[in-house]
Structure 1
Amino acid sequence: MLSTILEQSVNGIVTGSVYAIVAVGMTMIFGVLRAINFAHGEYYMLGTFGAWFAIDYLGLSYEVSIVVGVLATIAVAYVVGQLVMRRMVGAPAESGVLATLGIALILQNTIILVFGGGYKFFAGGYIEPVSILGFSLAEQRILILVVCLLVFIGLELMVSYTRLGMAMRAVSQNVECCSVVGIDVPQVVLRTFMLGAALAALSGVLTAPVNVSVYGGMGELITFKTLPIIIMGGLGNVRGTFVAAMILGVAESLVATYVGLQFRDTVGFATLILMLMWRPHGLFSTQARF
Protein backbone atom coordinates (compact mmCIF):
# COMPACT_ATOMS: atom_id res chain seq x y z
CA MET A 1 0.00 0.00 0.00
CA LEU A 2 2.67 2.50 1.06
CA SER A 3 4.98 1.51 -1.78
CA THR A 4 2.15 2.04 -4.27
CA ILE A 5 1.44 5.49 -2.88
CA LEU A 6 5.12 6.41 -3.07
CA GLU A 7 5.43 5.08 -6.61
CA GLN A 8 2.36 6.99 -7.80
CA SER A 9 3.58 10.11 -6.02
CA VAL A 10 6.85 9.91 -7.96
CA ASN A 11 4.89 9.49 -11.20
CA GLY A 12 2.75 12.44 -10.15
CA ILE A 13 5.83 14.59 -9.61
CA VAL A 14 6.97 13.76 -13.15
CA THR A 15 3.55 14.73 -14.48
CA GLY A 16 3.64 17.86 -12.35
CA SER A 17 7.01 18.75 -13.86
CA VAL A 18 5.47 18.68 -17.32
CA TYR A 19 2.59 20.87 -16.17
CA ALA A 20 5.00 23.23 -14.40
CA ILE A 21 7.10 23.90 -17.52
CA VAL A 22 3.97 24.64 -19.55
CA ALA A 23 2.14 26.61 -16.88
CA VAL A 24 5.07 28.86 -15.95
CA GLY A 25 5.01 30.29 -19.48
CA MET A 26 1.30 31.10 -19.18
CA THR A 27 1.94 32.57 -15.73
CA MET A 28 4.68 34.87 -17.02
CA ILE A 29 2.52 36.03 -19.92
CA PHE A 30 -0.31 36.81 -17.51
CA GLY A 31 2.11 38.68 -15.27
CA VAL A 32 3.10 41.18 -17.96
CA LEU A 33 -0.10 41.27 -20.04
CA ARG A 34 -2.82 40.66 -17.41
CA ALA A 35 -4.48 38.26 -19.84
CA ILE A 36 -4.76 34.47 -19.97
CA ASN A 37 -3.37 33.01 -23.18
CA PHE A 38 -5.95 30.45 -24.27
CA ALA A 39 -3.70 29.41 -27.16
CA HIS A 40 -0.85 28.40 -24.86
CA GLY A 41 -1.44 24.68 -25.27
CA GLU A 42 -1.12 25.05 -29.03
CA TYR A 43 2.55 25.99 -28.60
CA TYR A 44 2.98 22.75 -26.65
CA MET A 45 1.43 21.02 -29.67
CA LEU A 46 3.57 22.94 -32.18
CA GLY A 47 6.78 21.96 -30.42
CA THR A 48 5.74 18.32 -30.43
CA PHE A 49 4.82 18.37 -34.11
CA GLY A 50 8.04 20.18 -34.97
CA ALA A 51 10.08 17.44 -33.30
CA TRP A 52 7.93 14.69 -34.85
CA PHE A 53 8.41 16.23 -38.33
CA ALA A 54 12.18 16.48 -37.77
CA ILE A 55 12.39 12.80 -36.84
CA ASP A 56 9.94 11.30 -39.35
CA TYR A 57 10.49 13.50 -42.39
CA LEU A 58 14.01 14.86 -41.97
CA GLY A 59 15.54 11.80 -40.30
CA LEU A 60 17.11 13.85 -37.51
CA SER A 61 17.97 12.53 -34.07
CA TYR A 62 15.74 13.15 -31.06
CA GLU A 63 18.29 15.54 -29.56
CA VAL A 64 18.29 17.70 -32.70
CA SER A 65 14.50 17.44 -33.00
CA ILE A 66 14.15 19.12 -29.59
CA VAL A 67 15.97 22.17 -30.94
CA VAL A 68 13.96 22.11 -34.18
CA GLY A 69 10.64 21.90 -32.34
CA VAL A 70 11.46 24.73 -29.94
CA LEU A 71 12.90 27.03 -32.63
CA ALA A 72 9.93 26.44 -34.95
CA THR A 73 7.58 27.35 -32.12
CA ILE A 74 9.57 30.47 -31.28
CA ALA A 75 9.29 31.55 -34.93
CA VAL A 76 5.51 31.13 -34.89
CA ALA A 77 5.29 32.88 -31.51
CA TYR A 78 7.30 35.82 -32.89
CA VAL A 79 4.84 36.30 -35.75
CA VAL A 80 1.82 35.96 -33.45
CA GLY A 81 3.43 38.24 -30.90
CA GLN A 82 4.18 40.96 -33.46
CA LEU A 83 0.73 40.82 -35.05
CA VAL A 84 -1.45 40.25 -31.99
CA MET A 85 0.09 40.10 -28.52
CA ARG A 86 1.92 43.45 -28.67
CA ARG A 87 -1.40 45.09 -29.48
CA MET A 88 -3.00 43.60 -26.36
CA VAL A 89 -1.06 45.94 -24.05
CA GLY A 90 -3.67 48.02 -22.26
CA ALA A 91 -6.54 46.34 -24.10
CA PRO A 92 -9.60 45.02 -22.21
CA ALA A 93 -9.34 41.47 -20.89
CA GLU A 94 -12.13 40.39 -23.25
CA SER A 95 -9.97 41.31 -26.23
CA GLY A 96 -7.18 39.02 -25.01
CA VAL A 97 -9.59 36.13 -24.49
CA LEU A 98 -11.13 36.43 -27.96
CA ALA A 99 -7.77 36.99 -29.68
CA THR A 100 -6.05 34.01 -28.06
CA LEU A 101 -9.05 31.72 -28.62
CA GLY A 102 -8.95 32.68 -32.30
CA ILE A 103 -5.21 32.00 -32.47
CA ALA A 104 -5.75 28.60 -30.84
CA LEU A 105 -8.31 27.62 -33.47
CA ILE A 106 -6.09 28.83 -36.31
CA LEU A 107 -2.99 26.98 -35.10
CA GLN A 108 -4.86 23.78 -34.28
CA ASN A 109 -6.71 23.62 -37.60
CA THR A 110 -3.59 24.53 -39.57
CA ILE A 111 -1.76 21.51 -38.12
CA ILE A 112 -4.77 19.25 -38.81
CA LEU A 113 -5.01 20.59 -42.37
CA VAL A 114 -1.31 20.05 -43.07
CA PHE A 115 -0.68 16.76 -41.26
CA GLY A 116 -4.18 15.29 -40.89
CA GLY A 117 -6.30 14.78 -37.81
CA GLY A 118 -5.15 11.24 -36.99
CA TYR A 119 -2.70 10.13 -34.32
CA LYS A 120 1.01 10.00 -35.21
CA PHE A 121 3.57 7.77 -33.55
CA PHE A 122 6.47 9.65 -31.95
CA ALA A 123 9.61 7.59 -32.45
CA GLY A 124 12.17 9.51 -30.40
CA GLY A 125 13.12 9.62 -26.75
CA TYR A 126 14.81 7.58 -24.05
CA ILE A 127 12.52 4.76 -22.99
CA GLU A 128 14.94 2.48 -21.15
CA PRO A 129 13.94 1.94 -17.47
CA VAL A 130 16.23 2.99 -14.64
CA SER A 131 15.91 1.71 -11.08
CA ILE A 132 16.29 4.40 -8.38
CA LEU A 133 15.66 3.63 -4.70
CA GLY A 134 13.50 0.70 -5.62
CA PHE A 135 11.45 2.65 -8.17
CA SER A 136 11.63 2.03 -11.89
CA LEU A 137 11.50 5.14 -14.05
CA ALA A 138 12.06 5.57 -17.77
CA GLU A 139 15.07 7.69 -18.64
CA GLN A 140 12.73 10.19 -20.34
CA ARG A 141 10.85 10.79 -17.08
CA ILE A 142 14.11 11.47 -15.25
CA LEU A 143 15.07 13.90 -18.03
CA ILE A 144 11.75 15.72 -17.57
CA LEU A 145 12.41 16.12 -13.83
CA VAL A 146 15.94 17.43 -14.38
CA VAL A 147 14.87 19.88 -17.10
CA CYS A 148 12.01 21.17 -14.94
CA LEU A 149 14.40 21.97 -12.09
CA LEU A 150 16.88 23.62 -14.47
CA VAL A 151 14.11 25.69 -16.08
CA PHE A 152 12.89 27.09 -12.77
CA ILE A 153 16.43 27.76 -11.51
CA GLY A 154 17.20 29.51 -14.79
CA LEU A 155 14.03 31.60 -14.61
CA GLU A 156 14.81 32.59 -11.03
CA LEU A 157 18.27 33.78 -12.08
CA MET A 158 16.96 35.51 -15.19
CA VAL A 159 14.27 37.59 -13.47
CA SER A 160 16.69 38.53 -10.69
CA TYR A 161 19.85 39.45 -12.58
CA THR A 162 19.10 40.25 -16.24
CA ARG A 163 17.73 43.43 -17.83
CA LEU A 164 14.86 41.52 -19.40
CA GLY A 165 13.99 39.89 -16.09
CA MET A 166 13.98 43.20 -14.24
CA ALA A 167 11.90 44.77 -17.01
CA MET A 168 9.42 41.88 -16.77
CA ARG A 169 9.09 42.39 -13.02
CA ALA A 170 8.60 46.11 -13.50
CA VAL A 171 5.92 45.66 -16.18
CA SER A 172 4.12 43.09 -14.03
CA GLN A 173 3.89 45.67 -11.24
CA ASN A 174 2.97 48.85 -13.09
CA VAL A 175 2.64 49.18 -16.86
CA GLU A 176 1.97 52.92 -16.85
CA CYS A 177 5.05 53.80 -14.82
CA CYS A 178 7.21 51.62 -17.06
CA SER A 179 6.00 53.53 -20.12
CA VAL A 180 6.74 56.84 -18.40
CA VAL A 181 10.35 55.92 -17.55
CA GLY A 182 11.07 54.67 -21.06
CA ILE A 183 10.69 50.89 -20.83
CA ASP A 184 9.48 49.46 -24.15
CA VAL A 185 6.46 47.60 -22.74
CA PRO A 186 5.32 46.01 -26.06
CA GLN A 187 8.83 44.65 -26.59
CA VAL A 188 8.91 43.20 -23.07
CA VAL A 189 5.52 41.58 -23.72
CA LEU A 190 6.76 40.14 -27.02
CA ARG A 191 9.89 38.63 -25.48
CA THR A 192 7.98 37.23 -22.52
CA PHE A 193 5.42 35.73 -24.89
CA MET A 194 8.15 34.09 -26.98
CA LEU A 195 9.82 32.72 -23.86
CA GLY A 196 6.52 31.29 -22.61
CA ALA A 197 5.84 29.66 -25.99
CA ALA A 198 9.36 28.19 -26.06
CA LEU A 199 8.85 26.62 -22.62
CA ALA A 200 5.52 25.15 -23.70
CA ALA A 201 7.18 23.69 -26.81
CA LEU A 202 10.04 22.28 -24.73
CA SER A 203 7.52 20.57 -22.45
CA GLY A 204 5.74 19.09 -25.47
CA VAL A 205 8.93 17.70 -26.98
CA LEU A 206 10.00 16.17 -23.67
CA THR A 207 6.58 14.62 -23.05
CA ALA A 208 6.05 13.22 -26.55
CA PRO A 209 8.09 10.02 -25.98
CA VAL A 210 6.03 9.34 -22.84
CA ASN A 211 2.71 10.01 -24.59
CA VAL A 212 3.95 8.02 -27.61
CA SER A 213 1.44 9.63 -30.00
CA VAL A 214 0.79 13.19 -31.18
CA TYR A 215 -2.33 14.73 -32.72
CA GLY A 216 -3.66 18.12 -33.69
CA GLY A 217 -5.95 18.64 -30.71
CA MET A 218 -3.45 17.73 -28.01
CA GLY A 219 -2.85 21.32 -26.96
CA GLU A 220 -6.45 21.99 -25.98
CA LEU A 221 -6.40 19.72 -22.92
CA ILE A 222 -3.03 21.13 -21.84
CA THR A 223 -4.45 24.65 -21.88
CA PHE A 224 -7.30 23.67 -19.60
CA LYS A 225 -4.96 21.77 -17.29
CA THR A 226 -2.76 24.83 -16.83
CA LEU A 227 -5.68 27.09 -15.89
CA PRO A 228 -6.25 25.53 -12.43
CA ILE A 229 -2.49 25.51 -11.87
CA ILE A 230 -1.97 29.22 -12.45
CA ILE A 231 -5.09 30.06 -10.43
CA MET A 232 -4.06 27.79 -7.56
CA GLY A 233 -0.53 29.14 -7.64
CA GLY A 234 -1.67 32.76 -7.59
CA LEU A 235 -2.08 34.53 -10.92
CA GLY A 236 1.39 35.58 -12.03
CA ASN A 237 3.24 33.83 -9.18
CA VAL A 238 6.00 31.70 -10.72
CA ARG A 239 7.00 29.86 -7.54
CA GLY A 240 3.36 29.24 -6.69
CA THR A 241 2.91 27.77 -10.18
CA PHE A 242 5.64 25.21 -9.50
CA VAL A 243 4.05 24.10 -6.21
CA ALA A 244 0.53 24.01 -7.70
CA ALA A 245 1.72 21.93 -10.67
CA MET A 246 3.26 19.35 -8.34
CA ILE A 247 0.08 19.19 -6.25
CA LEU A 248 -2.08 18.65 -9.32
CA GLY A 249 0.29 16.06 -10.80
CA VAL A 250 0.36 13.96 -7.62
CA ALA A 251 -3.42 14.32 -7.16
CA GLU A 252 -4.06 13.12 -10.72
CA SER A 253 -1.76 10.14 -10.28
CA LEU A 254 -3.42 9.05 -7.01
CA VAL A 255 -6.94 9.51 -8.40
CA ALA A 256 -6.05 7.48 -11.49
CA THR A 257 -4.74 4.66 -9.28
CA TYR A 258 -7.38 4.50 -6.55
CA VAL A 259 -10.51 5.93 -8.19
CA GLY A 260 -10.13 5.23 -11.90
CA LEU A 261 -8.12 6.39 -14.89
CA GLN A 262 -11.25 7.87 -16.47
CA PHE A 263 -11.50 10.36 -13.59
CA ARG A 264 -7.93 11.62 -13.91
CA ASP A 265 -8.67 14.60 -16.15
CA THR A 266 -11.54 15.71 -13.92
CA VAL A 267 -9.14 16.52 -11.07
CA GLY A 268 -7.91 19.73 -12.69
CA PHE A 269 -11.40 20.99 -13.50
CA ALA A 270 -12.67 20.11 -10.01
CA THR A 271 -9.69 21.97 -8.56
CA LEU A 272 -10.43 24.98 -10.76
CA ILE A 273 -14.06 25.14 -9.58
CA LEU A 274 -13.11 24.75 -5.91
CA MET A 275 -10.39 27.40 -6.14
CA LEU A 276 -12.74 29.88 -7.81
CA MET A 277 -15.28 29.26 -5.04
CA TRP A 278 -12.86 29.26 -2.12
CA ARG A 279 -9.79 31.34 -2.99
CA PRO A 280 -10.12 32.94 -6.45
CA HIS A 281 -6.71 34.61 -5.97
CA GLY A 282 -5.01 31.25 -5.30
CA LEU A 283 -3.12 29.65 -2.45
CA PHE A 284 -0.19 32.02 -2.87
CA SER A 285 0.01 35.78 -3.03
CA THR A 286 -0.56 37.43 -6.39
CA GLN A 287 1.75 40.22 -5.20
CA ALA A 288 4.79 37.89 -5.42
CA ARG A 289 4.95 37.83 -9.20
CA PHE A 290 8.27 36.57 -10.54
Structure 2
Amino acid sequence: MDSFILEQIVNGIITGSMYALVAAGMTMIFGVLRAINFAHGEYYMLGTFAAWWVMSHLTSEYSLAIIGGVAIVSVIAVVIGRAVMQRLVGQPFQAGVLATLGLSLILQNVVILAFGGGYKVFSGGWIEPIELGDFGMSQQRVILVGVTVVVFVALEWMVRSTRLGRSIRAVSQNIECCQVNGIDVEQVVRKTFLIGVAIAALSGILTGPINVSIYGGMGESITLKTFAVIVMGGMGNVRGTLIAGLLLGVVESLVAGYIGLQYRDSVGFIALLLMLMLRPHGLFSSKARF
Protein backbone atom coordinates (compact mmCIF):
# COMPACT_ATOMS: atom_id res chain seq x y z
CA MET A 1 0.00 0.00 0.00
CA ASP A 2 1.23 3.50 -0.85
CA SER A 3 2.82 5.14 2.20
CA PHE A 4 0.79 8.33 1.73
CA ILE A 5 -2.51 6.43 1.73
CA LEU A 6 -1.41 4.46 4.79
CA GLU A 7 -0.48 7.66 6.59
CA GLN A 8 -3.88 9.20 5.82
CA ILE A 9 -5.67 6.08 7.06
CA VAL A 10 -3.69 6.07 10.31
CA ASN A 11 -4.40 9.78 10.84
CA GLY A 12 -8.06 9.10 10.11
CA ILE A 13 -8.18 6.31 12.69
CA ILE A 14 -6.74 8.70 15.28
CA THR A 15 -9.29 11.40 14.46
CA GLY A 16 -12.07 8.84 14.25
CA SER A 17 -11.15 7.52 17.69
CA MET A 18 -11.78 10.98 19.12
CA TYR A 19 -15.13 11.22 17.30
CA ALA A 20 -16.14 7.76 18.53
CA LEU A 21 -15.10 8.48 22.10
CA VAL A 22 -17.19 11.66 22.28
CA ALA A 23 -20.09 10.08 20.39
CA ALA A 24 -20.22 7.11 22.79
CA GLY A 25 -21.45 9.39 25.55
CA MET A 26 -23.96 11.18 23.33
CA THR A 27 -25.46 7.95 22.01
CA MET A 28 -25.79 6.52 25.54
CA ILE A 29 -27.64 9.65 26.66
CA PHE A 30 -29.89 9.42 23.61
CA GLY A 31 -30.58 5.78 24.42
CA VAL A 32 -32.08 6.55 27.83
CA LEU A 33 -33.61 9.99 27.15
CA ARG A 34 -34.56 9.78 23.46
CA ALA A 35 -33.09 13.29 23.22
CA ILE A 36 -30.06 14.64 21.40
CA ASN A 37 -27.66 16.34 23.80
CA PHE A 38 -26.67 19.42 21.79
CA ALA A 39 -24.41 20.55 24.65
CA HIS A 40 -22.25 17.43 24.40
CA GLY A 41 -19.40 19.17 22.60
CA GLU A 42 -19.22 21.68 25.44
CA TYR A 43 -18.32 18.89 27.89
CA TYR A 44 -15.48 17.96 25.53
CA MET A 45 -14.43 21.62 25.67
CA LEU A 46 -14.85 21.79 29.47
CA GLY A 47 -12.62 18.75 29.89
CA THR A 48 -9.88 20.40 27.84
CA PHE A 49 -10.12 23.68 29.75
CA ALA A 50 -10.33 21.94 33.13
CA ALA A 51 -7.11 20.00 32.43
CA TRP A 52 -5.44 23.16 31.11
CA TRP A 53 -6.44 25.03 34.29
CA VAL A 54 -5.17 22.22 36.53
CA MET A 55 -1.81 22.22 34.75
CA SER A 56 -1.61 26.03 34.83
CA HIS A 57 -2.55 26.55 38.49
CA LEU A 58 -2.16 23.31 40.46
CA THR A 59 0.35 20.97 38.86
CA SER A 60 2.40 20.64 35.72
CA GLU A 61 1.87 16.88 35.57
CA TYR A 62 -0.33 15.93 32.64
CA SER A 63 -1.32 12.60 34.19
CA LEU A 64 -2.70 14.40 37.26
CA ALA A 65 -4.42 16.92 35.00
CA ILE A 66 -6.32 14.07 33.34
CA ILE A 67 -7.72 12.95 36.69
CA GLY A 68 -8.40 16.50 37.85
CA GLY A 69 -10.05 17.53 34.58
CA VAL A 70 -12.39 14.54 34.50
CA ALA A 71 -13.23 15.05 38.19
CA ILE A 72 -14.09 18.75 37.69
CA VAL A 73 -16.33 18.06 34.70
CA SER A 74 -17.95 15.13 36.52
CA VAL A 75 -18.98 17.47 39.37
CA ILE A 76 -20.51 19.82 36.78
CA ALA A 77 -22.30 16.82 35.23
CA VAL A 78 -23.77 15.81 38.59
CA VAL A 79 -25.22 19.31 39.05
CA ILE A 80 -26.60 19.53 35.51
CA GLY A 81 -27.90 15.97 35.67
CA ARG A 82 -29.98 16.74 38.75
CA ALA A 83 -31.03 20.23 37.71
CA VAL A 84 -31.85 19.59 34.05
CA MET A 85 -31.36 16.15 32.52
CA GLN A 86 -33.48 14.08 34.92
CA ARG A 87 -36.35 16.51 34.35
CA LEU A 88 -36.38 15.60 30.66
CA VAL A 89 -37.57 12.05 31.36
CA GLY A 90 -40.85 11.56 29.53
CA GLN A 91 -40.79 15.07 28.08
CA PRO A 92 -41.32 15.81 24.36
CA PHE A 93 -38.29 15.62 22.09
CA GLN A 94 -38.40 19.40 21.57
CA ALA A 95 -37.90 19.99 25.28
CA GLY A 96 -34.59 18.13 25.21
CA VAL A 97 -33.42 20.05 22.15
CA LEU A 98 -34.21 23.45 23.68
CA ALA A 99 -32.78 22.55 27.10
CA THR A 100 -29.48 21.24 25.76
CA LEU A 101 -29.09 24.09 23.27
CA GLY A 102 -29.56 26.49 26.18
CA LEU A 103 -26.97 24.59 28.22
CA SER A 104 -24.57 24.76 25.28
CA LEU A 105 -24.81 28.55 25.13
CA ILE A 106 -24.48 28.91 28.91
CA LEU A 107 -21.42 26.66 29.23
CA GLN A 108 -19.71 28.20 26.22
CA ASN A 109 -20.17 31.75 27.47
CA VAL A 110 -19.19 30.88 31.05
CA VAL A 111 -15.85 29.58 29.76
CA ILE A 112 -15.37 32.66 27.55
CA LEU A 113 -16.13 34.99 30.47
CA ALA A 114 -13.82 33.05 32.79
CA PHE A 115 -10.85 32.57 30.48
CA GLY A 116 -11.39 35.03 27.65
CA GLY A 117 -12.40 34.49 24.05
CA GLY A 118 -8.88 34.10 22.67
CA TYR A 119 -6.92 30.97 21.98
CA LYS A 120 -5.00 29.20 24.75
CA VAL A 121 -1.99 26.93 24.30
CA PHE A 122 -2.44 23.46 25.75
CA SER A 123 1.08 22.53 26.73
CA GLY A 124 1.82 19.09 28.03
CA GLY A 125 0.96 15.55 27.10
CA TRP A 126 3.03 12.64 25.95
CA ILE A 127 4.45 14.16 22.81
CA GLU A 128 7.55 12.00 22.44
CA PRO A 129 7.67 10.46 18.94
CA ILE A 130 7.48 6.75 18.28
CA GLU A 131 8.10 4.93 15.01
CA LEU A 132 5.32 2.93 13.37
CA GLY A 133 6.62 1.37 10.19
CA ASP A 134 7.80 4.02 7.76
CA PHE A 135 6.46 7.00 9.66
CA GLY A 136 6.38 8.32 13.20
CA MET A 137 3.82 9.93 15.47
CA SER A 138 3.55 11.14 19.02
CA GLN A 139 2.73 8.79 21.87
CA GLN A 140 -0.38 10.87 22.55
CA ARG A 141 -2.01 9.74 19.31
CA VAL A 142 -1.36 6.07 20.01
CA ILE A 143 -2.67 6.46 23.56
CA LEU A 144 -5.85 8.09 22.26
CA VAL A 145 -6.60 5.07 20.06
CA GLY A 146 -5.77 2.68 22.89
CA VAL A 147 -8.00 4.49 25.37
CA THR A 148 -10.86 4.47 22.85
CA VAL A 149 -10.63 0.68 22.53
CA VAL A 150 -10.47 0.25 26.31
CA VAL A 151 -13.45 2.55 26.90
CA PHE A 152 -15.65 0.74 24.36
CA VAL A 153 -14.69 -2.67 25.79
CA ALA A 154 -15.48 -1.37 29.29
CA LEU A 155 -18.84 0.03 28.13
CA GLU A 156 -19.71 -3.29 26.49
CA TRP A 157 -18.86 -5.14 29.71
CA MET A 158 -20.77 -2.62 31.82
CA VAL A 159 -24.03 -2.77 29.86
CA ARG A 160 -23.90 -6.58 29.65
CA SER A 161 -22.66 -7.60 33.09
CA THR A 162 -23.63 -5.00 35.70
CA ARG A 163 -26.88 -4.01 37.35
CA LEU A 164 -26.53 -0.44 36.10
CA GLY A 165 -25.93 -1.71 32.58
CA ARG A 166 -29.05 -3.87 32.66
CA SER A 167 -31.02 -0.89 33.96
CA ILE A 168 -29.69 1.29 31.13
CA ARG A 169 -30.73 -1.32 28.58
CA ALA A 170 -34.17 -1.61 30.15
CA VAL A 171 -34.74 2.14 30.19
CA SER A 172 -33.55 2.43 26.58
CA GLN A 173 -36.23 -0.07 25.58
CA ASN A 174 -39.25 1.06 27.59
CA ILE A 175 -39.25 3.88 30.14
CA GLU A 176 -42.88 3.42 31.19
CA CYS A 177 -42.43 -0.29 31.88
CA CYS A 178 -39.34 0.45 33.99
CA GLN A 179 -41.25 2.98 36.06
CA VAL A 180 -44.06 0.48 36.66
CA ASN A 181 -41.53 -2.16 37.78
CA GLY A 182 -39.86 0.11 40.32
CA ILE A 183 -36.68 1.09 38.43
CA ASP A 184 -35.55 4.59 39.38
CA VAL A 185 -35.44 5.97 35.84
CA GLU A 186 -34.23 9.41 36.91
CA GLN A 187 -31.27 7.87 38.74
CA VAL A 188 -30.41 5.77 35.69
CA VAL A 189 -30.55 8.92 33.54
CA ARG A 190 -28.27 10.81 35.95
CA LYS A 191 -25.69 8.01 36.05
CA THR A 192 -25.77 7.52 32.28
CA PHE A 193 -25.39 11.26 31.78
CA LEU A 194 -22.44 11.31 34.17
CA ILE A 195 -20.71 8.47 32.33
CA GLY A 196 -21.31 10.11 28.95
CA VAL A 197 -20.02 13.49 30.08
CA ALA A 198 -16.94 11.97 31.75
CA ILE A 199 -16.06 10.15 28.51
CA ALA A 200 -16.47 13.37 26.51
CA ALA A 201 -14.25 15.25 28.98
CA LEU A 202 -11.63 12.50 28.79
CA SER A 203 -11.65 12.76 25.00
CA GLY A 204 -11.11 16.53 25.20
CA ILE A 205 -8.20 16.10 27.61
CA LEU A 206 -6.52 13.44 25.47
CA THR A 207 -6.83 15.50 22.29
CA GLY A 208 -5.70 18.75 23.95
CA PRO A 209 -1.98 18.07 23.31
CA ILE A 210 -2.82 17.08 19.72
CA ASN A 211 -4.90 20.17 18.96
CA VAL A 212 -2.50 22.43 20.94
CA SER A 213 -4.79 25.48 20.62
CA ILE A 214 -8.03 25.56 22.64
CA TYR A 215 -10.83 28.14 22.75
CA GLY A 216 -14.30 28.58 24.17
CA GLY A 217 -16.19 27.76 20.97
CA MET A 218 -14.35 24.54 20.17
CA GLY A 219 -17.26 22.37 21.27
CA GLU A 220 -19.65 23.48 18.50
CA SER A 221 -17.97 21.61 15.66
CA ILE A 222 -17.49 18.55 17.89
CA THR A 223 -21.23 18.44 18.63
CA LEU A 224 -22.10 18.55 14.93
CA LYS A 225 -19.53 15.91 14.01
CA THR A 226 -20.71 13.71 16.89
CA PHE A 227 -24.32 14.05 15.77
CA ALA A 228 -23.30 12.85 12.29
CA VAL A 229 -21.50 9.88 13.85
CA ILE A 230 -24.43 8.70 15.97
CA VAL A 231 -26.81 9.01 13.01
CA MET A 232 -24.43 6.97 10.86
CA GLY A 233 -23.95 4.37 13.58
CA GLY A 234 -27.65 4.03 14.37
CA MET A 235 -29.18 6.22 17.06
CA GLY A 236 -28.38 4.62 20.41
CA ASN A 237 -26.13 1.88 18.97
CA VAL A 238 -22.84 2.11 20.89
CA ARG A 239 -20.96 -0.47 18.83
CA GLY A 240 -22.14 1.14 15.60
CA THR A 241 -20.89 4.46 16.94
CA LEU A 242 -17.32 3.15 17.14
CA ILE A 243 -17.33 1.94 13.54
CA ALA A 244 -19.04 5.09 12.25
CA GLY A 245 -16.58 7.34 14.09
CA LEU A 246 -13.57 5.53 12.65
CA LEU A 247 -15.14 5.53 9.18
CA LEU A 248 -15.81 9.27 9.28
CA GLY A 249 -12.30 9.99 10.50
CA VAL A 250 -10.68 7.94 7.72
CA VAL A 251 -12.84 9.48 4.97
CA GLU A 252 -12.13 12.99 6.28
CA SER A 253 -8.42 12.30 6.29
CA LEU A 254 -8.45 10.94 2.72
CA VAL A 255 -10.46 13.92 1.50
CA ALA A 256 -8.05 16.33 3.21
CA GLY A 257 -5.05 14.53 1.72
CA TYR A 258 -6.27 14.12 -1.85
CA ILE A 259 -8.74 16.97 -2.41
CA GLY A 260 -7.91 19.68 0.09
CA LEU A 261 -7.95 20.45 3.79
CA GLN A 262 -10.71 23.05 3.31
CA TYR A 263 -13.14 20.30 2.27
CA ARG A 264 -12.49 18.11 5.29
CA ASP A 265 -15.23 19.44 7.56
CA SER A 266 -17.84 19.11 4.80
CA VAL A 267 -17.51 15.31 4.81
CA GLY A 268 -19.47 14.83 8.03
CA PHE A 269 -22.34 17.04 6.90
CA ILE A 270 -22.53 15.40 3.47
CA ALA A 271 -22.52 11.98 5.12
CA LEU A 272 -25.27 13.12 7.49
CA LEU A 273 -27.48 14.39 4.65
CA LEU A 274 -26.97 11.24 2.57
CA MET A 275 -27.68 9.03 5.57
CA LEU A 276 -30.89 10.87 6.42
CA MET A 277 -32.06 10.62 2.81
CA LEU A 278 -31.01 7.06 2.01
CA ARG A 279 -30.83 5.20 5.33
CA PRO A 280 -32.31 7.26 8.18
CA HIS A 281 -31.82 4.42 10.69
CA GLY A 282 -28.06 4.49 10.11
CA LEU A 283 -25.57 1.92 8.90
CA PHE A 284 -26.44 -0.28 11.87
CA SER A 285 -29.87 -0.92 13.28
CA SER A 286 -30.99 1.34 16.09
CA LYS A 287 -32.80 -1.70 17.49
CA ALA A 288 -29.38 -3.13 18.43
CA ARG A 289 -28.90 -0.56 21.21
CA PHE A 290 -26.14 -1.40 23.65
Residue 240 of structure 1 deviates from its aligned partner by 0.4
Residue number in structure 1 paired with 2:49: 49
Residue 270 of structure 1 deviates from its aligned partner by 0.8
Residue number in structure 2 paired with 1:138: 138
Could you list the per-position Cα deviations for residues 103-134 of structure 1 after superposition, in whole angstroms to 9, with x for gaps in the alignment?
A: 00000000000000000001110111111222
Residue number in structure 2 paired with 1:75: 75
Alpha-carbon distance between aligned partners in 2 of 1:68 and 1:179, rounded to the nearest angstrom: 36
Alpha-carbon distance between aligned partners in 2 of 1:174 and 1:257, rounded to the nearest angstrom: 45
Q: Tell me if structure 1 keeps the 8 A contact 2:234–2:285.
A: yes
SS at match of 2:288: coil
How large is the RMSD of aligned CA atoms in angstroms? 0.8
Structure 1 unaligned runs (5+)? none
Could you list the per-position Cα deviations for residues 53-77 of structure 1 after superposition, in whole angstroms to 9, with x for gaps in the alignment?
A: 0111223310000011111111111
Residue number in structure 2 paired with 1:101: 101
Alpha-carbon distance between aligned partners in 2 of 1:78 and 1:219, rounded to the nearest angstrom: 20
Residue number in structure 1 paired with 2:206: 206
SS at match of 1:130: strand
SS at match of 1:59: coil
Residue number in structure 2 paired with 1:65: 65
Residue number in structure 2 paired with 1:255: 255
Alpha-carbon distance between aligned partners in 1 of 2:185 and 2:59, rounded to the nearest angstrom: 41
- Return structure 1 stretches of 4+ with deviation > 2 angstroms: none
Equivalent pairs, count: 290
Using the size of structure 2 for normalisation, the TM-score is 0.99
Using the size of structure 1 for normalisation, the TM-score is 0.99
Q: Tell me if structure 1 keeps the 8 A contact 2:8–2:250.
A: yes
Pairs within 5 Å for 1:210-289: 210-289=210-289
Alpha-carbon distance between aligned partners in 2 of 1:213 and 1:78, rounded to the nearest angstrom: 28
Could you list the per-position Cα deviations for residues 123-173 of structure 1 after superposition, in whole angstroms to 9, with x for gaps in the alignment?
A: 110111111222312100000011001000100110011111000000001
Structure 2 unaligned runs (5+)? none
Alpha-carbon distance between aligned partners in 2 of 1:91 and 1:257, rounded to the nearest angstrom: 44
